[in-house]
Structure 1
Amino acid sequence: MLTRFIARPSAPKPPLLLASSLVFNIGFYAVVPFLAIFLRDDLLLSGWAIGLVLGLRTFSQQGMFLLGGALSDRYGARLIILLGCVVRIAGFLLLGLSDTLAPVILGACLTGVGGALFSPSIEALLAQAGTHSEKAGKRSRAEWFALSAVCAELGAVLGPLLGSLLSGYGFQPVALAGSGLFLIALLVLFFTLPATPKRATELKIVQWWETFRQPRFVAFIIAYSAYLFSYNQLYLALPVELRRSGGSEQDLGPLFVLASVLVIVLQMPLARFARRMGAARILPAGFGLLSAAFVAVALFAWTIPPQGWLRLLPSVLLITLLTVGQMLIVPVGMDLIPRFAGQHNLGAHYGALSSMGGIAVLAGNFLLGGLLDNALTPSPAAVIPWLALAAVPFLSALAMWRICRRLPPPAI
């Protein structure tokens, strides 16, 4: 009787996977964008400590992606998705119940590890379900992945709005609510996800050092890592600018909605434009836009902010330029990886790309986060942190111009 009650479907259902992406992003974006404010206002941490916590969180997710995919192959996607939910619940509980630095750091890292576990598994199941759908003459696999991106972006819109609406209760109650949301998702997925076959072979991860035998690829991923470092400043530097301009955590929600709307409206047209222009032009231009985003804030950082909505103009410029730069960089950059890999060990090459980005966020936030304390109040010194942040993607723009001129030809 019990076995019949908990019987699960034999194949993954795409709508369930799309709903999972939506719910996971709502839970993530309702909590994590507000973490820096909690660390500064409630735990009274300095800029370098906040940068360290946020960097560790990002690194724990980006650096674990390859391992998460390998575990999914070995033990089955269902088990690893459920485990990822449990780990993220534990992370949110620590954030919601802790008032000292050590458990907060652990909680932040666990939120990242949880994502690294369930994200590759969700993608693997969606690929499987999309293949079945395509063979049946229904929606293609590419269309299911496009719908998944839309659902994920919708979650990125609703999450910050929900976090803003609940911000009056404080960060920790919102983190506890996030853990409750993932607990509900865990229970639903436990009864609805199909059992997935696991491989009988031992867990094996492609040797990382093989990807580092290509000097041009190493140079590329180091330069590309400035993208993730720059975009993660939405979690570290943006709250600092809001403080300088007299804004509050309630302003974060609409600003993140702006970023998501830009992606939904402009991503496909910009991707087509980037493909026509080519990597040698687009990547330097994209990193130039990331640099310009920080320069735009530097132009205002020393001034007394105006009254009304104009005080948010630097934040809007930061969000807009970072997002447009991201939309130009990511499709082109991801498309270049097979040209370095020669269609061999693609997983290891993409894993190296993600891990280098995590290292850049960790190191960059730690080294430059302390400078952001100078940007909390209008003064000439407030310009310096933003120019330092601008220098990172600017150097990558120069590097990409040189690297992309001598790229290997596309594989046929």
Structure 2
Amino acid sequence: MSFLSARRSTRLYPPLLLGSQLVFNIGFYAVVPFLAIFLRDDMLLSGWAVGLIVGMRTFSQQGMFLVGGALADRFGARAIILCGCVVRISGYLLLALGDTLWPIVLGACLTGVGGALFSPAIEALLAKAGGESERAGKRTRSEWFALFAVCGELGAVLGPVLGSLLAGFGFQRAALAGAGVFVIALIILFFSLPQTARRQGELHITPWWTTFHQPRFVAFIVAWSAYLFSYNQLYLALPVELSRSGSSEKDLGPLFVLASLLIIVLQLPLARLARRAGAARILPLGFFLLACAFFSVALFAATPPPSGITRLAPAMLMVTLLTLGQMLIVPVGMDLVPRFAGDRNLGAHYGALSSMGGIAVLVGNLLLGGQLDRALTPSPQASVAWVLLGIVPLCSAIAMTVICRPFQAHRTA
């Protein structure tokens, strides 16, 4: 062990963290977007059961973000990143080797817990390394985070492509390949990440529910939760639309590539537009675009799909509108949280945002997942599920016009 410690790097390189984000997203997007298809087609589960499992996976990640960040502070980011890799590898192995339902459910949840462990820790290390770079007169911390986002999106482009190529071999072999990606990442990070400082004393986590004494913030996170619920439908409802249109799971990869390319090209221009327009205008518009994404599919759901590439038009429209809505909502909404918090207990406030979103995905998928069974084939009833999905963000669009009224004159920095 002393030999390993001697060979381990003692310096933290930001490019290593950027590469980690790239590899992590490749491993994630090569597997998770195809989970709902596997559960429906191979495990023969009903829509509500598929929705419940996909929702549990999301909740196990979003709901644990606050805990993951606190653990990184207490035990050191390096240890928690390596632990997160091990947990995600375990989840993927359960998905790959499980032949009954419960190992699959546990594996799906472990993939979420793993992400909740390593994602906050990676971001904390990048903040530290970026600050050192900025003080040395090199690249600023904000520039490193911008590159971090780009690397994440590149991984989100390459991951679905890899997943589509592996689709012909079956989901479980793709999960095994995903585990291999994280094993490689674990080995590289073990030797490359330096030891990080640990906080002495007891682990203390400010509970996210302590924010409930702020009624306007509670209303904000409830309305905001429709964003994560809506965007999560890329994993649950989008495969249903592909089935209705006669497409295959191989078409899922290019659609995720489309979403990532839109973010890479348009995120910065839309962020500048959002700064000029302000939260009171942008957030209702963003949620309205999410609602239109589902309403647009509802217009096509009752009719038989056309032949050729045009059969993908509703799915492409859904992905485009969801992505545009996300690009407007996330930067502005995240910037408003410190204003609600008064720059105090930010961890608890951001934890509340993530946890409420995870709850919305879990409950929403459970309630509406069964409706998606009717959308698998063209029929008048097929439109009902999409209309119900669209009503959720539409309600949030209306609510945000009231919640954000005090920020009418606010422009994000």
CA distance in 1, matches of 2:217, 2:4: 52
What is the rounded CA distance, in whole Å, between the counterparts of 1:275 and 1:408 in structure 2?
12
Aligned to 1:321: 321
Structure 1 equivalent of residue 340 of structure 2: 340
Q: Is this contact kept in 2: 1:339–1:408, CA < 8 A?
A: no
- Equivalent residue letter for 2:164: S
In the alignment, what sits opposite 1:309? 309
Q: Which position in structure 2 is the counterpart of 1:288?
A: 288
Which residue of 2 is the match for residue 148 of structure 1?
148
CA contact (8 A) 2:153 2:264 kept: yes
**Which deviations, in whole Å up to 9, do the C-alpha atoms of 1:307-332 show, x marking residues without a partner?**
00000000000000000000000111
1:409, CA displacement in angstroms? 8.1
Deviation of residue 201 (structure 1)? 1.5
Name the CA distance, whole Å, in 2 between partners of 1:89 and 1:46.
Answer: 27
Classify the secondary structure of the residue corresponding to 2:11.
Answer: coil
Counterpart-to-counterpart distance in 1, 2:294 and 2:232: 12
Cα distance in 2 for partners of 1:229, 1:289 equals 14
Question: Residue type matched to 2:179 in 1?
Answer: S
Q: Deviations over 1:185-208 (max 9, x none)?
A: 111111110000101121000133
Single out whichever of 50-59 and 97-106 deviates more from structure 2: 97-106
> 2:173 corresponds to which residue?
173
| 1:370 aligned residue | 370
Aligned-partner Cα distance in 1 for 2:329–2:212: 22
Distance 1:408 1:86 in 2: 46
Q: 1:209 to 1:4 in 2, by over 3 A?
A: closer
- Structure 1: how far apart are the matches of 2:262 and 2:251? 17
- TM-score relative to the length of structure 2: 0.98
SS state of the match for residue 406, structure 1?
A: helix
Q: Deviations over 1:257-296 (max 9, x none)?
A: 0000000000000011011111111111110000000000
Deviates more, 1:218-227 or 1:135-144: 135-144
- Give the whole-Å Cα distance in 1 for the aligned partners of 2:64 and 2:249: 30
Q: Which amino acid aligns with 1:289?
A: L
**Alignment match, 2:135:** 135
Task: Report if aligned partners of 1:39, 1:45 keep a CA contact under 8 Å in 2.
Answer: yes
Aligned pairs (5 A) from 1:25-174: 25-174=25-174
How has the CA–CA distance of structure 1 residues 2 and 201 changed in structure 2, closer, same or farther, with 3 Å as cutoff?
closer
**Letter in structure 2 aligned against 1:13:** Y
Gaps of 5+ in 2: none
Aligned residue identity for 1:202: E
The residue type equivalent to 1:392 in the other structure is V
Q: Which moved more, 1:11-20 or 1:105-114?
A: 11-20
- 1:47–1:81 Cα change, 3 Å: same
Summarize the alignment of residues 3-18 of structure 1 with structure 2, pairs less than 5 Å apart. Answer: 3=3, 6-18=6-18
Cα shift at 1:4: 6.1
Check conservation: 1:50, 1:369, Cα contact below 8 A: yes
Q: Separation in 1 of the partners of 2:35 and 2:41? A: 10
2:380 maps to 380
**Equivalent residue pairs, number:** 412
1:364-390 superposed Cα distances (whole Å, 9 cap, x missing partner): 000000000000000000000000000
Q: Is the 8 A contact 1:87 1:111 kept in 2?
A: yes
Q: Percent identity?
A: 72
Give the aligned CA root-mean-square deviation in angstroms: 1.4
| 1:216 corresponds to 2:181 | no
Shift of residue 136, structure 1, vs aligned partner: 1.0
Cα distance in 2 between the residues matched to 1:258 and 1:336: 28
The 8 Å contact of residues 28 and 178 in structure 2, kept in 1 or not, is answered as yes
Q: Tell me what 2:204 maps to.
A: 204
Structure 1 unmatched runs, 5+: none
Which amino acid is the alignment partner of residue 251 of structure 2? Answer: D
Q: Give the Cα–Cα distance (whole angstroms) in 2 for the partners of residues 43 and 243 of structure 1.
A: 16
Q: CA deviation at 1:144?
A: 0.6
Report the CA distance between 1:210 and its aligned residue: 2.3
Provide the residue aligned with 1:186 in structure 2. Answer: 186
Cα distance between partner residues in 2 of 1:116 and 1:394: 29
Compute the displacement of 1:25 (Å).
0.2
Contact kept? 1:6, 1:191, Cα under 8 Å: no
Moved more, 328-337 or 208-217: 208-217
SS of 2:185's equivalent in the other structure is: helix
Query: Which amino acid in structure 2 is aligned with residue 318 of structure 1?
Result: M
CA contact (8 A) 1:238 1:315 kept: yes
TM-score, reference length from structure 1: 0.98
Partners of 1:325 and 1:4 in 2: how far apart?
A: 47
Task: Say whether 1:251 aligns with 2:251.
Answer: yes
Superposed displacement of residue 20, structure 1: 0.3
Distance 1:252 1:70 in 2: 35
Contact 1:77 1:121 survives alignment (8 Å): yes
2:231 aligned partner:
231
> Is the 1:98–1:104 contact (alpha carbons within 8 Å) kept by the matching residues of 2?
yes
2: distance between equivalents of 1:2 and 1:400? Answer: 56
Task: Please give the alpha-carbon distance, in whole angstroms, between the structure 2 residues aligned to 1:155 and 1:264.
Answer: 12
State how far apart, in whole Å, the 1-side matches of 2:385 and 2:280 are. 29
SS at match of 1:339: helix
> Structure 1, residues 125-175: CA drift from partner, whole Å, max 9, x if none?
111111111111111111111111000000000000000011100000000
